[in-house]
Amino acid sequence: MEDVKRPWEKLVELIEADQPEQVKEYLQSMKTEDIVLSISRLEKKEQLLLLTLLSPEDAAELLDDIPEYHATDILEEMESSRAAAIFNELDSDEQADLLTEMNEKEATAIIEQMEPGEAESVRRLIKYEADTAGGLMITEFLSFDKEQTVGDVVHELRKNAEKYEDYNLQYIYVTAHGRLEGVLQMRDLLMASLQARLDVIVHSDVISVMDSATLHELINFVNDYDFYGVPVLNDDGVLLGVVLRSDILEAKSELASIELLETQGIVGGEELRTMPVLLRSRRRLSWLTVNIFLNVLAASVIAFHQDTLSSIIALAVFLPIISDMSGCSGNQAVAVSLRELSLGLIRPFEVARVWLQEFSVGLLNGIVLGVLIGAVAYLWKGSLVLSLIVGGALMLNTIVAVSIGGTIPLILRRFGADPALASGPILTTITDMFGFFLTLTFASLALTHFGTI
């Protein structure tokens, strides 16, 4: 049972025992979600040793299963020659995706070590934006000149069967001097005479997209057409590659996940808890620090009437700020937990581990936000006591919020509830309650000891 919960422990044993065959067999027996989880739990040296034990082909298959951040993080630490050998086994679109995420120096070193054909292909692909047809296309496709015969095609496929074994063999694209002329299905070849020229049997009414087509345009395309893929052309009509339907749908799903995180104020739309704490804190704070001033602006409507209020009523100005800011921090933690649950990077029983990781970010962000709101309180009322009350309440409530936000999705998933639907309302209720409790309790203590705020 423990092995099921912590599959990485068995993987570490095999890696340390230097058992490459057993490592490969164990990985093949694992579910994809268990592989993703296990790689994220390994130390960096264990990750590197794992890829060293595997053949380049098996290592490429492994990297294809894990998030790009983890893959690039490992590859940047490898010797460029070894990394290049793995890259040679990846699909062209995956090569481009990983290289664009890597440090430029490391990426250049890897490309220089790759096979000439692979290197030339990836240099073309990395020039495109990732969310365009050029950035999503693969260059592994079957293309033949229109003047060739069916026999020529059959001979080529048989002669280079090993090369084409990973290609999709449903469609063959027919070109003239590189320009797309049409498409053939494999059954068209099987039914035709070996002497027939491709331009005689080709279907010329093929639909294509430009290499500059955006992801949204591609999503509209797959909604309109039930094709396996679509050829990608440049301005001159030259066939550059093929965008697969599966890759478009995967990019669509990734976009939805990123947009979810960005709606919660995580700049960049990507965060995993294996990333450095300072990086995670900076990405969250970049939105939170802006949001705190927006909340101050909204609260100024109440502050406009502050002359009629006593000093204790001044706290009412900061109550909505404290509850809202804490709620924002908690929602960021919710979004990351939902993301990691969907990727298989965390399990519902890991509540304590997630809490410890969130506590570090919550403490750092809480201090920053507490100082900011405390400074606003001091500049407005000139009261150090009021500043300490609201700053301390926001700091502590931020820690509470991220703790609840990070762990509640795991708890809900463990009990069979939908964390995406239930986490928000639970988080809002708890953070509001704690925010009001902390603020008013601190105020009561201050009045008891100082008589005024």
Chain centroid to Cα 343, Å, comes to: 9
Least trusted range by pLDDT, from 115-119, 297-301, 435-439? 297-301
Least trusted range by pLDDT, from 49-58, 234-243, 297-306? 297-306
Chain centroid to Cα 128, Å, comes to: 19
Q: Is 403 contained in some domain?
A: yes
- Please give the pLDDT value at position 131: 87
The whole-angstrom separation of Cα 282 and Cα 348 is: 27
Are the CB atoms for 260 and 339 separated by under 8 Å?
yes
Are the CB atoms for 105 and 98 separated by under 8 Å?
no
Residue 268 has pLDDT above 60, yes or no: no
- Residues 221 and 306 grouped into a single domain: no
**Long-range residue pairs from 39-45, CB within 8 A, at least 24 positions apart, any chain:** 39/8, 39/66, 39/70, 40/66, 40/70, 40/272, 40/274, 40/345, 41/6, 41/8, 42/8, 42/11, 42/12, 42/15, 44/73, 44/74, 44/77
Q: What is the CATH number of the domain that holds 289?
A: 1.10.357.20
Task: Please state the pTM of the whole predicted model.
Answer: 0.67
- Please give the pLDDT value at position 1: 38
- Residues 295 and 175 grouped into a single domain: no
68-75 vs 44-53: helix crossing angle, rounded to 10:
80
Structural domain count, the chain: 3
Q: Is 441 contained in some domain?
A: yes
- Residues 269 and 414 grouped into a single domain: yes
Tokens, residue 401? 């919020």
Which residues share a beta bridge with 144? Answer: 174
Q: What is the CATH number of the domain that holds 226?
A: 3.10.580.10
Closest to 50 in 3D by CA, of 73, 68, 23 = 23
- Residues 361 and 408 grouped into a single domain: yes
80-87 vs 56-63: helix crossing angle, rounded to 10:
70
Return the amino acid letter for 3. Answer: D
pLDDT band for position 287 (cuts 50, 70, 90):
low
Closest to 381 in 3D by CA, of 289, 292, 309 = 309
- Residues 183 and 99 grouped into a single domain: no
Q: Is 257 contained in some domain?
A: no
Average pLDDT, the chain: 86
Q: Is 249 contained in some domain?
A: no
- Residues 210 and 352 grouped into a single domain: no
Higher pLDDT, 328 or 451: 328
Tokens, residue 136? 């999503």
The whole-angstrom separation of Cα 440 and Cα 323 is: 13
Residue 425 has pLDDT above 70, yes or no: no
The 10s digit of each residue's pLDDT in 68-110 is: 888 998 999 999 999 999 999 998 889 998 998 898 899 999 9
- Residues 38 and 150 grouped into a single domain: no
The 10s digit of each residue's pLDDT in 212-263 is: 999 989 988 988 898 889 999 999 999 999 999 999 998 888 777 765 665 4
pLDDT band for position 186 (cuts 50, 70, 90):
confident
The whole-angstrom separation of Cα 440 and Cα 371 is: 19
Sort strands 209-210 and 229-233 into parallel, antiparallel or unpaired.
parallel
- Residues 41 and 163 grouped into a single domain: no
Q: Is 290 exposed, middle or buried (0-12, 13-18, 19+ CB in 10 A)?
A: exposed
Closest to 97 in 3D by CA, of 62, 122, 121 = 122
Higher pLDDT, 137 or 292: 137
How many angstroms separate the Cα of 377 from the Cα of each of 38, 296, 318, 335, 391? 47, 10, 8, 30, 8
Tokens, residue 286? 């970049």
The whole-angstrom separation of Cα 171 and Cα 186 is: 6
What domain range includes position 321?
264-450
Q: Is 416 contained in some domain?
A: yes
User: Which of 103, 127, 151 delimits the end of a domain?
Assistant: 127
pLDDT band for position 6 (cuts 50, 70, 90):
confident
pLDDT band for position 299 (cuts 50, 70, 90):
low
- Residues 212 and 279 grouped into a single domain: no
- Please give the pLDDT value at position 55: 94
Least trusted range by pLDDT, from 41-45, 293-297, 367-371, 413-417? 293-297
Q: Is 136 contained in some domain?
A: no
- Please give the pLDDT value at position 301: 47
